[in-house]
């Protein structure tokens, strides 16, 4: 018997129930806003606003970033919504999976087992639907949440930092002997190989990296035609040797994306050469976001003016 069924059968029979989008969404937004107050960035705040819009007008659900297949469980006690957990269907590493998100318990009701019961109910529901894997993310400094998930059997798979660059630092300078130029068709073979190193399957399923659009061939032309994103790419070379490629892709969120392709031992030099090129050639008011394994190239990034925006621990459970 899981903790959820134990609680359901014992002292809290009526409190845990499936999320009802038609009546819960506004209160879920309130709870998420309250519980993640310090952690919500501008994209997070926009997401909460969209939840409220969808609560007012369910027809908008498909038009917002709130996934229309949004489901989950809530904990309602004495008429108040005290806990929430959402389940988002995802396709991760070649498999159907659930992403567990927005796990939030009212500050005055923590350490009563509410999050644990919500998570166990969600895992039971996933298993009953034939889903074999659950994913979630927690901020690296959110020890409490990580402890909760580890106790339920989740294991850390990757730890990634998103870096933001707005203004280049005065110290940014192209390393001697390296030149930059627009990405050449012939660079794609190495670029694709290096992209697979920086963005392995365990992370690429949740990043908006559209590899097809970077392809210089027909496949890429078609992907770019169908995409509403702008794209630019630059290569760094020493003599005739290709050292790496940096792609820039516009986005509708708080920052545009940079995608790094370089052998790990070259990454710092490639960034030093190409991040300034990308910064100078793209809209100056837009932040640039770069997602990398936590701990990688920190000094080089800080020297260029990047700031660590967020480090996330991605955890997975096989059901």
Size of the site for ligand COA (CB under 6 A): 20
Query: In this complex, which beta carbon is closest to ligand COA, that of residue 142 or of residue 227?
Result: 142
CA distance 209 to 199: 9
Residue 39 CB, nearest distance to ligand COA (Å)? 7
Task: Give every strand in the sheet of 241-249, ordered side by side.
Answer: 16-18, 71-77, 80-92, 95-105, 133-139, 307-318, 155-165, 287-293, 255-262, 241-249, 231-238, 179-182
Q: Is 310 in the site for ligand COA (CB under 6 A)?
A: no
Query: In this complex, which beta carbon is closest to ligand COA, that of residue 113 or of residue 293?
Result: 113
Residue 104 CB, nearest distance to ligand COA (Å)? 4
CA distance 45 to 29: 10
Binders in 151-190 for ligand COA, by CB under 6 A: 151
Location of structure tokens 């350490």: 111
CA distance 307 to 289: 10
Q: Is 142 in the site for ligand COA (CB under 6 A)?
A: yes
Kindly tell me which residue out of 18, 113, 175, 216 binds ligand COA, with binding defined by CB under 6 A: 113
Q: Is 114 in the site for ligand COA (CB under 6 A)?
A: yes
Query: In this complex, which beta carbon is closest to ligand COA, that of residue 28 or of residue 148?
Result: 148
- Tell me how long the chain is: 319
User: What angle in degrees, to the nearest 10, is found between the helix axes of 114-128 and 143-151?
Assistant: 50
3-state secondary structure of 28: helix
Kindly tell me which residue out of 63, 69, 80, 147 binds ligand COA, with binding defined by CB under 6 A: 147
Residue 92 CB, nearest distance to ligand COA (Å)? 17
Location of structure tokens 């480090």: 311
Kindly tell me which residue out of 56, 111, 280, 285 binds ligand COA, with binding defined by CB under 6 A: 111
Q: Is 115 in the site for ligand COA (CB under 6 A)?
A: yes
Kindly tell me which residue out of 24, 116, 178, 191 binds ligand COA, with binding defined by CB under 6 A: 116
The two structure tokens encoding residue 272? 């030093």
Residue 115 CB, nearest distance to ligand COA (Å)? 3
Query: In this complex, which beta carbon is closest to ligand COA, that of residue 138 or of residue 172?
Result: 138
Give Cα separations from 285 to 115, 268, 279, 314 (angstroms): 40, 24, 10, 30
Residue 33 CB, nearest distance to ligand COA (Å)? 11
Q: Is 104 in the site for ligand COA (CB under 6 A)?
A: yes
Q: Residue 261 class from Cβ within 10 Å (0-12 exposed, 13-18 middle, 19+ buried)?
A: buried
Q: Is 53 in the site for ligand COA (CB under 6 A)?
A: no
Name the residue among 235, 258, 112, 254 with its Cα closest to residue 179. Answer: 235
Binders in 11-40 for ligand COA, by CB under 6 A: 35-36
Kindly tell me which residue out of 29, 148, 195, 242 binds ligand COA, with binding defined by CB under 6 A: 148
Kindly tell me which residue out of 27, 96, 112, 232 binds ligand COA, with binding defined by CB under 6 A: 112
Q: Is 294 in the site for ligand COA (CB under 6 A)?
A: no
Contacts with 12 (C-beta within 8 Å, 6 or more apart), sequence order: 77, 117
For ligand COA, the binding residues (CB under 6 A) are 35-36, 103-105, 110-116, 138, 142-145, 147-148, 151
């Amino acid at each position: 018997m899981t903790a959820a069924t134990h609680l359901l059968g014992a002292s809290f029979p009526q409190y845990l129930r499936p999320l009802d989008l038609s009546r819960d969404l506004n209160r879920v937004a309130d709870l998420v806003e309250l519980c993640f107050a310090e952690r919500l960035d501008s994209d997070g705040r926009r997401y909460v606003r969209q939840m409220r819009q969808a609560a007012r007008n369910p027809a908008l659900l498909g038009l917002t970033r709130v996934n229309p297949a949004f489901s989950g469980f809530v904990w309602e006690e004495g008429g108040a919504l005290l806990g929430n957990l959402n389940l988002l269907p995802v396709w991760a590493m070649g498999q159907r999976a659930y992403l567990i998100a927005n796990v939030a318990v009212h500050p005055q009701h923590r350490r009563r087992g509410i999050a644990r019961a919500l998570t166990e109910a969600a895992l039971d529901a996933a298993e009953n639907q034939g889903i074999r894997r659950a994913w979630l993310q927690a901020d690296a400094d959110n020890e409490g949440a990580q402890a909760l998930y580890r106790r339920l059997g989740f294991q850390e798979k990757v730890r990634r930092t998103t870096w933001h660059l707005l203004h280049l630092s005065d110290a940014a300078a192209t390393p001697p002997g390296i030149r930059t130029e627009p990405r050449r068709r012939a660079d794609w073979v190495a670029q694709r190989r290096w992209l697979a190193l920086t963005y392995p399957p365990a992370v690429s399923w949740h990043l908006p990296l559209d590899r097809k659009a970077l392809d210089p061939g027909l496949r890429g032309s078609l992907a770019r035609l169908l995409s509403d994103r702008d794209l630019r790419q630059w290569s760094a070379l020493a003599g005739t040797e290709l050292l790496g490629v940096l792609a820039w892709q516009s986005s509708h969120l708080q920052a545009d994306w940079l995608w790094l392709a370089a052998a790990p031992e070259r990454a710092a030099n490639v960034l030093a050469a190409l991040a300034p090129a990308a910064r100078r050639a793209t809209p100056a008011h837009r932040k640039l976001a770069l997602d990398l394994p936590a701990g990688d190239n920190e000094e080089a990034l800080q020297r260029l003016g990047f700031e660590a925006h967020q480090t996330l621990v991605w955890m997975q459970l096989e059901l």
